[in-house]
């Protein structure tokens, strides 16, 4: 891996809906089915236009898992002309590509066929493993069954989709569980070679959630887990922390080499109380490290051709604009 280099991506964060079939004990992202629970196409296109103007390269599409399972959701989806959220996402991905942005979708659990379809319009995808442990925070969340999540990450590997996953710390798992989770990710990468980054994310208690009085993991837990991740994961897998949630300046020296997507346009809808640092603040955070912008598909996957024909011209243009071929030696 490149020593002394910290990467980030300039993105637009587009949560198409906050409706979700899961009921995680720590989540404030999920909302009931109600007026305004889906971002309108007009709003998505406006955000994409602004993001393209500001030089963003990634359109991050997120939404609650299987929102169609929630009573009343179909009516709101039908009002914007769609029968499934993935159909809507597909069209918005095309809109992003048309504006020179690379889509990255994090939709919760998807089937092999659904991922295969979305691969056509996505440069990369993601799903947090969170933990291999069975924790009470996930008791009412069918999509958080570790076996279900591992199977989806496997399928992404079979489909040659450059993939992001990660751990959520402090939701009831033990140190051994964290180690096991990292070992599972390592083994998946050894089999398929598709894990480009692993996020080490700290749980943040949210007011009004069942876990609002639960203690957040301290910096020592972050230090130890980042160190463990760097030891367990192969060197071609980046270790990422969200710079708006953790004390990034303090954590970089423990083996972090990526700060994820930073948006000059949109807020972090999953953690709205934590604003993104702006790009100039990132430079301060990085300190003695060299800060370098990257795409949501890492260079080794561009070289392998792990992307659809539809994305080729955008990838080549952005690679040229960011001068990536020069900046990235062979890994």
pLDDT in tens, 297-309: 999 999 999 999 9
What residues contact residue 304 under an 8 Å CB cut-off, 6+ apart? 160
CA-based nearest residue to 322, from 21, 100, 121, 2: 100
What residues contact residue 220 under an 8 Å CB cut-off, 6+ apart? none
What residues contact residue 69 under an 8 Å CB cut-off, 6+ apart? 21
Q: Is residue 265 very low, low, confident or very high in pLDDT (cuts 50, 70, 90)?
A: confident
Q: Give me 311's structure tokens.
A: 């994305």
Cβ contact 127:109 at 8 Å:
yes
Q: Which residue has the tokens 């889906």?
A: 38
Helix (H) or strand (E) holding 14: strand 5-17
3-class DSSP state of 326: helix
3-class DSSP state of 323: coil
Q: Which residue has the higher pLDDT, 239 or 271?
A: 239
**Which residues partner with 201 through β-bridges?**
168
Quote the pLDDT of residue 1: 40
Q: What are phi and psi of 318, to 5 degrees?
A: -65, -40
Quote the pLDDT of residue 79: 96
Cβ contact 122:97 at 8 Å:
no
Chain segment 201-235, per-residue pLDDT in tens: 988 888 888 888 888 888 889 999 999 999 999 99
Domain boundaries along the sequence of the chain:
5-327
Q: Give me 226's structure tokens.
A: 């980042």
Biggest alpha carbon–alpha carbon distance for the chain: 52
Round to whole Å and give the CA distance between 206 and 250. Answer: 23
3-class DSSP state of 231: helix
Q: Is residue 327 very low, low, confident or very high in pLDDT (cuts 50, 70, 90)?
A: very low
CA-based nearest residue to 183, from 115, 241, 133, 246: 133
**Nearest-10 Cα torsion for 125, 43, 85, 306:** -20
Tally of CA atoms within 13 A in the half-sphere of 197 that contains its CB: 28
Cβ contact 48:96 at 8 Å:
yes
Quote the pLDDT of residue 328: 39
Q: Is the pLDDT of residue 15 over 90?
A: yes
For the segment 42-67, the average pLDDT, to the nearest whole number, is 93
Q: Is the pLDDT of residue 98 over 80?
A: yes
For the segment 91-111, the average pLDDT, to the nearest whole number, is 97
Fold of 5-327: TIM Barrel (3.20.20)
Round to whole Å and give the CA distance between 214 and 26. Answer: 9
DSSP assignment string, 80-118: TT-SSHHHHHHHHHHHHHHTT-EEEEE-SS--HHHHHHH
Chain segment 245-263, per-residue pLDDT in tens: 767 788 888 999 999 988 8
CA-based nearest residue to 67, from 81, 93, 43, 86: 86
Q: Give me 136's structure tokens.
A: 């009470």
């Amino acid at each position: 891996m490149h020593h002394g280099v910290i990467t980030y991506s300039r993105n637009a964060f587009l949560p198409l809906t906050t409706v979700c079939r899961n009921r995680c004990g720590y989540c404030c992202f999920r909302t009931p089915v109600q007026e305004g629970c889906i971002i309108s196409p007009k709003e998505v296109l406006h955000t994409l236009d602004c993001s393209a103007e500001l030089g963003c390269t990634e359109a991050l599409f997120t939404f609650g898992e299987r929102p169609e399972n929630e009573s009343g959701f179909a009516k709101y989806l039908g009002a914007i002309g769609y029968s499934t959220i993935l159909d809507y996402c597909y069209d918005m991905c095309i809109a992003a590509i048309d504006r020179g942005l690379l889509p990255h979708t994090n939709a919760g659990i998807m089937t092999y066929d659904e991922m295969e379809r979305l691969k056509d319009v996505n440069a990369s995808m993601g799903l947090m493993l969170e933990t291999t442990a069975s924790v009470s925070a996930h008791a009412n969340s069918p999509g958080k069954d570790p076996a279900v999540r591992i199977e989806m990450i496997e399928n992404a590997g079979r489909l040659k989709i450059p993939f992001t996953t990660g751990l959520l710390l402090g939701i009831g798992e033990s140190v051994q569980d964290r180690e096991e989770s990292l070992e599972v990710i390592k083994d998946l990468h050894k089999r398929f070679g598709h894990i480009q980054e692993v996020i080490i994310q700290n749980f943040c208690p949210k007011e009004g959630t069942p876990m609002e009085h639960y203690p957040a993991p301290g910096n020592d837990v972050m230090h130890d887990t980042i160190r463990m991740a760097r030891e367990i994961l192969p060197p071609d897998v980046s270790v990422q922390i969200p710079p708006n949630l953790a004390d990034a300046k303090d954590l970089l020296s423990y083996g972090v080499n990526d700060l994820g997507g930073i948006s000059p346009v949109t807020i972090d809808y999953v953690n709205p109380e934590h604003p993104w640092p702006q790009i100039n603040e990132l430079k301060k955070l990085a300190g003695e490290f060299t800060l370098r912008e990257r795409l949501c598909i890492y260079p080794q996957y561009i070289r392998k051709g792990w992307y659809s024909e539809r994305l080729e011209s955008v990838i080549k243009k952005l690679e040229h604009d960011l001068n990536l071929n020069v900046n990235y030696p062979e890994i």
